[in-house]
Amino acid sequence: MIRPRMMKDVQSEQPQGLNEKYLIGLFTQMCAELYERRGNSSWYNTLSQARILRLLIADDHGQAGAGYNAVAQLVADLVSLKIEFTIGDSSLTRQDFLERHVMTLMAEPYTVYDVITLLTNKLGGIHLDPVFARPGKARHELQYKKIEAAFNLQINGIPSLRYHMGEITDIVLDGLAPLHTAAMEYRSKIS
């Protein structure tokens, strides 16, 4: 697992066309923030974890991701390392991990990517869905009910989205640890 003491501060570096040093600094800072937020059970931290995960591993996934890049994949390409996530005895690629089923809600399957997207694009991690401004309108009713159900569902007394985000975060931090080490070694060679 990635520990914050390994992280370098990216704030002192200004982007210059996303050079290698900046990209690695951004990646390590995101990992540090994700690690720091993983144990805190506040709703805001859950939303923040989703925001960071979207940027790290999911920004290029699906139709919405066309033209974007996942930061971890850019760093993996830079240091020539394959990203893998381990669940039990299985090793999954980043794309397979994002497509992994984690829950069913109102008879619809939700993947890792769906959970991240729900938290970032609907519940305020990055965007707050417009349905909250117009919850009584008939055309938004089903969408609002799905969001409300996801928000209210509990697992052992813990909101399900918070529970799943904690699990996803731990798997990602473990999976990105080898990339973090390789990125820091690469950075020391170019500094």
Number of domains in the chain: 1
78-96 residue pLDDT tens: 999 999 999 999 999 999 9
For 154, the token pair is 């509990």
Residues spanned by the domain of 44 = 4-190
- In the prediction, which pLDDT does 62 show? 65
- Report pLDDT digits (tens) over 121-170: 888 888 877 776 665 655 566 666 777 777 788 888 888 888 899 999 99
Residue 1 has a pLDDT of 59
Q: E strands, the chain, where?
A: 84-87, 90-93, 101-105, 108-111, 154-155, 158-159
**Cβ pair 93, 83 in contact under 8 A:** yes
Residues paired with 103 in a beta bridge: 110
